[in-house]
Amino acid sequence: MTETSQAAYYAIRDKLPERRRAVLLQLEFYIASKHEYPTARELYAWCGIDGCWKRLPELRRAGMVDNPDTRVCRITGSRSMTWEPVRAEAPKDDQQSLFSA
């Protein structure tokens, strides 16, 4: 990892749990209002949360979101994964740690 990447990480690490919550909430709002699953770039264009495309894979690793399909992104024109929240009975330990500092 480069020195600038490390510095950037340390600058935002305390804000990551809040950003993950915000991205998950915005994903749910997007789907509720547009009735479709967004690509990462579409979600970013809609909500404006800086770095939301980086939080989605983190949420996927924790089992909180998934990629139901691929389609052409309206922003990039490229074939891209879409994102959806995963409904779980109870949060897993690794899910809880995503939202705590």
Residue 13 belongs to domain with CATH number: 1.10.10
Residue 101 above 90 pLDDT? no
Which pLDDT score is estimated for 88? 61
Residues 6+ apart with CB under 8 A from 9: 1
Beta-carbon count within 10 A of 31 CB: 17
The 10s digit of each residue's pLDDT in 15-43 is 889 999 999 999 999 999 999 999 999 99
Full residue range of the structural domain in which residue 20 is found: 3-98
The reported pLDDT for the residue numbered 68 is 96
The backbone torsions φ and ψ at residue 2, rounded to the nearest 5 degrees and listed phi first, read -75, 160
Domain total of the chain: 1
Q: What is the pTM of this model?
A: 0.78
- Extract the tokens encoding 16: 């990551």
Main-chain phi, psi angles of 54, to 5 degrees? -85, -30
Question: What pLDDT sits at residue 89?
Answer: 58
Q: Which residues contact 50 (CB under 8 A, 6 or more apart)?
A: none
101 or 74, higher pLDDT = 74
d(CA 24, CA 85): 7
Mean residue pLDDT of the chain comes to: 87
pLDDT above 90 covers a percentage of the chain that reads 66
Q: Which of 64, 55, 62, 54 is nearest to 84 (CA)?
A: 64
